[in-house]
Amino acid sequence: LQGIFTTAARMWGSRTARIVGPCCGKRLTIRSASNNAATQNICLNLVRTHDKENFLCTLLLKNPQRRSALAVRAFNVEVAKVSEKVAAGNVGVMPLKFWENAITTLYRAQTDGNITLPEHPVIQELARTTKEHKLSKMYFQRLVSARANASLHFLTVQQLEDYAEQTVSSVLYLLLEVHGMRNVHCDHAASHLGKAQGIVNLLRSLPHQSTRRTGAVPIPQQVLMEHGVNQERMVRNRRDDKGVEEVTYALASVAFRHLEKAKGLLETVPRSVRPIFLPSVAIGRYLHRLRLANFHLTDPNVMRTDSLLPLVLYWRKLRGNY
């Protein structure tokens, strides 16, 4: 573990070349990805570059599950990247169709040796992962369909929670399956943690939402109306705007409740799979910083990189305290 932590701390501050996924429904040919080590490293770098906190958490899983978990998270990164471009109006939905078709082809290929998979490193790595661990096709489909169908204009908090369930909890369900765990108690804890992380992801994205073409922010209308705040005020996000502060507090409170429920359920989760729930540490630390900043999303202490996170994650893993 000490070697993993040292690597994680070094990687946390490093920059890597961006790996760009397909911008259309065509197959992407990467000759070097034919090697198992190459596809593994590409998935690792993809998660490290675009999903740093989850990358650190995944590094603390044991092999061979760590490699498979990185493949799952790399797939989620690719789909999320395309989804962001679709939401910004930069591309159509065809790139998401590529990933939807790739998953269908991947599972058909498990029973039909004549089917050729797209020569994409993430798909190649997932082919090994899904075959080895018998992962549920449904969760991969959810990751794609939720982003393909979502306009990110939520009417209620429930709709936001459902979106977080599909786009974040689904990843945790797959990681549980990677560890051979199909357990209702584990799924219950993963559901709450995914909702907490999904809402926190939304909060963290709000300072950047003003650049969207629609000028809208993905905050449930229910919350905005309850506090008498409109979209324009959320985009401006003035420090002295108490209404914006109340909206942020309301969403942070929902995330915190889900986080506390997930942590309370960990007692029913086998110790062998509890490291999957390490993202709860990063979520809790972000919500704590947000509270100290009086729920001002653009406060420098809220937006800064958590430089102590690698050390805290390592220590929590050693102590079994998630």
- 């994680």: which residue's tokens? 8
Q: Does residue 69 carry a pLDDT above 50?
A: yes
Q: Which of 26, 63, 39, 22 is nearest to 124 (CA)?
A: 39
Burial class (CB in 10 A: 0-12, 13-18, 19+), 10: exposed
What distance in Å separates the CA atoms of residue 135 and residue 116, rounded to the nearest whole number? 20
Instruction: Flag the least confident range among 78-82, 168-172, 312-316.
Output: 78-82
What distance in Å separates the CA atoms of residue 117 and residue 246, rounded to the nearest whole number? 49
Give per-residue pLDDT as tens, 193-237.
999 999 999 999 998 875 454 557 889 999 999 999 998 899 888
CATH code of 151-321, in short, is 1.10.600.10
For the chain, what are the domain ranges? 39-149, 151-321
Sequence-distant (≥ 6) Cβ neighbours of residue 85 within 8 angstroms: 91, 95
Mean pLDDT on 250-270: 98
The pLDDT of residue 20:
36
The pLDDT of residue 87:
64
Mean pLDDT on 309-316: 97
Give per-residue pLDDT as tens, 208-217.
875 454 557 8
Average pLDDT of the chain, as a whole number: 87
**pTM attached to this predicted model:** 0.88
